[in-house]
Structure 1
Amino acid sequence: MCVDENTSPQQLSGHDRRGFLRNAALAGAGAAAGSLVLGGAPASAADASPKGGIGRWTPDPTALQFTFAVMPDTQYLYWGSQDSVNRTPQEESFRYIINNSGVADNNIVFMSHLGDLTQDADPSSFQQVDRAFDVLDSRGAAYSVLAGNHDVSGDDTRGDTPYLRTLGPERFRHAKTFAGSDRTGYNTAHIFRAAGRSWLVLALDWRTTDQGFAWADAFIKRHPGMPVILTSHDIVYSDYDDNVFPYESGDPENNAALSEHGQTVWDRLVKENDQIFLTLNGHYWPSGRTTKKNAYGNDVYMHIANYQNRFFGGGAMIRLYHFDLARNTIDVETINPWILAQAPETRNELAAEHARITGPVDNFAIPIDFEKRFSGFIPVPTRPARPAGRVLVRGTQAYWRFDGQGTPGAPLAQGQTIHDLTGKGNDLSVVTLPGTAGDALTWSDDHHPDQPGHGSLRFTGGRNPVTGSYLATSETAPLNRQTFKGGYTIETFVRIPLDWDAGRNGNASMLSRRGAAADAGKQGKNTDPSEPLAQLAITNNGREVQFNHYPLNNTYPTTNWSHGLAELRWWHIAVVNDGRFTKLYVNGAPVADDPKRVSNGLTSLGLPWLVGGHEYAGAIDIVFHGDIGEIRIVDRPLAKHEFLTA
């Protein structure tokens, strides 16, 4: 940023007065950018960082992890009218972007420059910028650019300029990601592929006019299924001071605010377009971010990145937005490839400090449920329910599902029956403990997205005192006598509520088999003589899944443990025994704590199975608290492609 004829009165007041004063001082530094001191002696960028090799542009458009690169103001590297030009840092960053396009951990799919490519808008500066961007063009790399206040004057109706001749739509005529521009050429659209879908980047002029906003709005509406990243030079500014490095803020997640022009961008384009979820700009410093709610009540992440006041004018530093749609997170980091390309022992003190910027405003994570955030314009397809007959695989001994049993919230009464859909007679009946509220066990139409039946049971139970309702097979159910010598698979779905408490709700079972270990003659290491013969439970130790069972071949138990389960998320749980070893799966992934101990079958005293109930020393001591989806028990080991989620 620098004050010129386009600087508004708002920019000279409050937060920007110090920026204006700093600019006056840094103008001299920018003029001398070509002779900044490295290690105490004048040296050019080329002397400090010899050019590295360059590979191919090979991003993976299907991977759920990809990186969107951002390069803010590089103006101090290009002051041609002062014979001060340093392409090397920017070219090194471009090489890094290309070379990391095919690296799985990065998978860089696109790069956006945020404006102020030059300090003086001189044709000689843009000649050098042109040569630097040839590095990207030579490999077909996907990128966008936009004009900042140091590249142009006036608004987007200004007409011909060296910027437009160098980096206007004509430059992108062969680019696969270029999607169009407005009639001025200063506002452009780009579409890239990542995570199996198309993403739209709008690169708007630093002073977009009514026609530019109308064009951008219409372009978004012509591409209704695309998430939009909006880039411009001036949207938000940082509202804290940077007198001490590294930059610090009392609230690193909310230390930016809309500028005067940014308010116009918000009102004219962002607020009413739900597809815009991220805005990026440079112009101001230090870096900062804020989150605003749009007209749909959804978050819009608004970030400023700018390092021109850092060592070597920022050295073409880049901000990397690592999208991870599997983890529902955007991990953000800030690096300087030009410095990283230098041997560590040759870096001077300032270079060593700026290889990576790790402060809270430059290195952070954004939790974002992509599916939920984009659901307003990318509807989430609902997997249809599957008839019971389709999942009654060979060997199914019991199958209980809870769809079609009532209206959401309807309670289940004492003695109410849930039929075993195998027809083998392993029906469940509701058992309600004394003193239990009438709505302690209710129907719900909530379910795991891959669950065959679209329903679940909501248990509101606990201990001290023991209250709640659970379900049990009858005394004569065939399942009670099954010992599963040839192996077995037990599957269910579970969701833990936010009010789950380890003391009151820990160690409650989703599914258990009555009969105390001592009564079955069990003894030895880790044996609790009063515990049930089999229990699939959520422990009080970090909400971990535990399958504790007494096999036929041992007098002591085998126990499988999972990692901790997050609340308010549906989980698929599977226990698979092949006749020798027992494995526990969470969402199809094997857990770490699967004992390498032979455990054949499940010991039985011919007593009922319980859903949501847990017996200790012959009495119910706790009732489950949370949601349980359907349950299937099969008398053989199933492969993952045979699970209920398949």
Structure 2
Amino acid sequence: MTESSRRPHLGRRSLLTAAVAAPAAAVASGTLLGAAPAAASASGPRGWTSRFDPESPRFTIGVLPDTQYLFDEDSSDPNPLRQTFRFLTEERAARNIAFMTHLGDVTEHGSEHEIELAGEAFKVIDGRLPYSVLAGNHDIQRGDDQRGDSAYLREFGPARYAKMPTFRGASPDGYNSYHVLKAAGREWLVLALDWRVSDKGISWAQGVLDANKTLPAILTTHDLAWADASGTAALSQFGQRLWDALVRRNDQIFLTLNGHYWPPGRTVLKNDAGNDVHVHITNYQDRYYGGAGMVRLYSFDLVRNVIDVETLSPWLLGLDADERAPLEAENLELTGPVDRFSLEIDFDARFAGFAPRTPPRPRPAREVMPRGTVAYWRFDAEGFAGAGTDGATVPAGAVARDLTGGGNDLTMELLHSSPAEILRWSGEHHEGQPAHASLRFDGGKNPDRGAVLRSAPNAPINSMKFESGYTIEAFIKLPDPFEGDHAWMGILSWEGRSGDAGKTSGWSPEEPTCSLNLSPERFLQYVVYPTDRDADPTSWSHALPVGRWMHLAVVNDSRRTIVYVDGSKIARNPTQPSRGISTLGKPFAIGGTQFAQKYGQGYYGWIGDVRIVARALKPKDFLTPFAG
């Protein structure tokens, strides 16, 4: 668009006249509404997919706005756009780029010459990265998407996308299309709509959404919203029509992207389901060199539940730093609040209304006891005799069975004069936990209180040395808010003085020979006295978060110990040799750690399944598998 049409109610700029040829045969046949042709199979040609991981929880979508000033008759310069395309293809693996979408106004006048020049530039990306393009007001000469044939349609119509693995179809007129991306282990819908969608076009788009009811959708179009100087966006006149007729009625649409207006901006609107729809304007044609091929990168992270957004010009970044002119240096990357920001989106919650996640089913014990399992405890009916309902008190003397049958049952004991309700059954659990149950401990200091589950005096686990290696796993959750003083509370341990094991070089001969604890800063501490030396190699984690479940794993391969949190190796794992555990024939316990053979405070929070295997496991073999 032009400076004179920066507000939504002003008329469209008069365009130069361009020749209009007969409608393209492919569009006239009306065969492009349904599924994509065979060439666009789910796997697609190797060039489309070989550098992209569809299962990674992190992926990127590139967004290109108005490139019209780069394709302006004899003032054209496609080089910035070509460089952007090279950047997207070269960075595809590193940034896991799934797709690129252009927001319209590819060219300034929509002439045969400009359109052909742009089409040639797009060949840099053809076969390497799937993409969509939609018509802006500068790309076509008249009317809505029922306008018939145009130079734009012949170059950027459905035939251009037919071999892309993401392409699923186009409206009969050819000006609207949709793609389905496989990313982060699920499918995503991208709707690319003409700058003036007719009632027929809206009906087609609704049909696409109805046929893909479970897919989260990103709507791209040229004219939807405009922004004031502060970057606060509002719907344009046409945008309001599209919002009322399509967007607000379809909860699937969680993000809309448009160009046309500048400055860029964003806002959040509520749809009819009461959920957020993020409305973003991306347009840099008013900046140096017509935007210098600026690309907006939307980096989805389904682990952190955020979309990180950045804006940059690969063309300017590629120039020699010592030779960049002032304006070139000024426009390398844009860091304002509408150019570089993060969106916090709980994807599961946002998509629950149309695509609720099916949580993993409980897994019976027999499915999660690999070779070498010496003890496995869980707190559902399978693992706990007389397991109660959520919130029910666990009585003293209750027994958690060792489901291996190895004789390592644990018996609940109250510490000090703790009330019976200090330990309760809970339905809370880690999503990947085999048992959908846990125990809620309410231990603490001043006065000391708590409960522990202890093995019997003659249980085999009490004397196992694990000199061939071991893996100890536990699911835990810390309360939010994390109230009170719980410094050095124990999660699990073996009882007995390290001094009695002949260990003299540790912090104190009164501490036990093996324990998993939490520091005052909520750092996980694993301390062990190995059998092969007088030492106490100790691992320390980062500060553990509150209010969310975590999987902990301690893995020893008979040479050294590595501690993992949620499948990720922590930083402070000692390289000091460590073989086995200097157990003393004294009980193993969950919910506390002794000092000088006495329990002080008990654990505060939830504990789920606990498993001990007498060999080193890889993360992919943990109770909830992680890549490794």
Q: TM-score, normalised by structure 1?
A: 0.81
Which residue is equivalent to 1:229?
218
CA displacement at 1:262 relative to structure 2: 2.9
What is the CA deviation profile of residues 127-179 of structure 1, one whole-angstrom value per residue up to 9, with x for unaligned ones? Answer: 43333334444x46422122223334443344444433443334445544332
Which residue is equivalent to 2:36?
none
1:145 to 121, 133, 150: 133
The within-5 A match list for 1:506-525 is: 506-518=487-499, 520-524=501-505
CA displacement at 1:639 relative to structure 2: 4.6
User: Are 2:66 and 1:73 equivalent residues in the alignment?
Assistant: yes
Q: Measure, in 1, the Cα distance between the counterparts of 2:119 and 2:101.
A: 16
Cα pair 1:188 1:203 within 8 Å, conserved? yes
What is the CA deviation profile of residues 487-534 of structure 1, one whole-angstrom value per residue up to 9, with x for unaligned ones? Answer: 433221112232225x6123222102223444555433x412443332
User: Are 2:316 and 1:316 equivalent residues in the alignment?
Assistant: no
Q: Measure, in 2, the Cα distance between the counterparts of 1:293 and 1:165.
A: 38
Cα pair 1:512 1:535 within 8 Å, conserved? yes
Change (3 A) 1:290 1:567: farther
Q: Measure, in 2, the Cα distance between the counterparts of 1:402 and 1:520.
A: 32
CA displacement at 1:56 relative to structure 2: 6.5
CA displacement at 1:223 relative to structure 2: 1.9
1:301 maps to amino acid = H
Calculate the aligned-residue CA RMSD, in Å.
Answer: 3.3
1:339 to 313, 316, 340: 316
1:528 maps to amino acid = S
1:84 to 75, 79, 99: 75
Change (3 A) 1:510 1:297: farther
Partner SS for 1:623: coil
User: Are 2:519 and 1:561 equivalent residues in the alignment?
Assistant: no
Which residue is equivalent to 2:403?
421
2:102 to 113, 126, 145: 113
What is the CA deviation profile of residues 49-88 of structure 1, one whole-angstrom value per residue up to 9, with x for unaligned ones? Answer: xxxxxx96554253514331111112223333xx432222
CA displacement at 1:465 relative to structure 2: 3.1
Change (3 A) 1:468 1:294: farther
User: Are 2:189 and 1:208 equivalent residues in the alignment?
Assistant: no
CA displacement at 1:237 relative to structure 2: 2.7
1:62 maps to amino acid = P
Which residue is equivalent to 2:227?
238
Which residue is equivalent to 1:471?
453
The within-5 A match list for 1:221-370 is: 221-241=210-230, 255-370=232-347
Which residue is equivalent to 1:607?
586
Structure 2 unmatched runs, 5+: 16-45, 382-386
CA displacement at 1:392 relative to structure 2: 3.7
Which residue is equivalent to 2:515?
535
User: Are 2:177 and 1:188 equivalent residues in the alignment?
Assistant: yes
Which residue is equivalent to 1:50?
none
User: Are 2:529 and 1:550 equivalent residues in the alignment?
Assistant: yes
Cα pair 1:357 1:363 within 8 Å, conserved? yes
CA displacement at 1:228 relative to structure 2: 1.7
Q: Measure, in 2, the Cα distance between the counterparts of 1:527 and 1:61.
A: 47
1:126 to 83, 99, 115: 115
1:261 maps to amino acid = F
| Percent of aligned pairs with the same amino acid | 46
Q: Measure, in 1, the Cα distance between the counterparts of 2:90 and 2:280.
A: 26
What is the CA deviation profile of residues 240-277 of structure 1, one whole-angstrom value per residue up to 9, with x for unaligned ones? Answer: 43xxxxxxx7xxxxx43333433333332223323222
2:84 to 85, 88, 93: 93
Q: Measure, in 2, the Cα distance between the counterparts of 1:90 and 1:201.
A: 22
Which residue is equivalent to 1:571?
550
Aligned residues, how many? 587
Partner SS for 1:626: strand
Partner SS for 1:303: strand
1:219 to 184, 191, 208: 208
2:517 maps to amino acid = A
CA displacement at 1:8 relative to structure 2: 4.8
Cα pair 1:61 1:193 within 8 Å, conserved? no
Cα pair 1:615 1:622 within 8 Å, conserved? no
Partner SS for 1:179: strand
Cα pair 1:6 1:154 within 8 Å, conserved? no
1:591 maps to amino acid = I
Cα pair 1:116 1:147 within 8 Å, conserved? yes
2:582 maps to amino acid = T
Which residue is equivalent to 2:28?
none
Cα pair 1:470 1:623 within 8 Å, conserved? yes
Change (3 A) 1:358 1:447: same
Partner SS for 2:485: helix
Cα pair 1:56 1:99 within 8 Å, conserved? no
Which residue is equivalent to 1:456?
438
2:523 maps to amino acid = E
Which residue is equivalent to 2:560?
581
Q: Measure, in 2, the Cα distance between the counterparts of 1:590 and 1:400.
A: 24
User: Are 2:481 and 1:505 equivalent residues in the alignment?
Assistant: no
Cα pair 1:512 1:613 within 8 Å, conserved? yes
CA displacement at 1:333 relative to structure 2: 1.9
The within-5 A match list for 1:28-67 is: 58-64=50-56, 65-67=58-60
Q: Measure, in 1, the Cα distance between the counterparts of 2:403 and 2:161.
A: 61
Change (3 A) 1:567 1:298: farther
Partner SS for 1:506: coil
Q: Measure, in 1, the Cα distance between the counterparts of 2:555 and 2:114.
A: 67
CA displacement at 1:574 relative to structure 2: 2.0
CA displacement at 1:556 relative to structure 2: 4.1
Which residue is equivalent to 2:392?
410
Q: Measure, in 2, the Cα distance between the counterparts of 1:70 and 1:191.
A: 16
CA displacement at 1:564 relative to structure 2: 3.3
Partner SS for 1:493: strand
1:97 maps to amino acid = L
Change (3 A) 1:180 1:429: same
Structure 1 unmatched runs, 5+: 13-19, 28-54, 242-248, 250-254
Which moves more between the two structures, 195-204 or 377-386? Answer: 377-386
Partner SS for 2:174: coil
Q: Measure, in 2, the Cα distance between the counterparts of 1:7 and 1:361.
A: 18
Q: Measure, in 1, the Cα distance between the counterparts of 2:269 and 2:282.
A: 17
CA displacement at 1:205 relative to structure 2: 1.9
Q: Measure, in 1, the Cα distance between the counterparts of 2:581 and 2:591.
A: 19
CA displacement at 1:321 relative to structure 2: 1.9
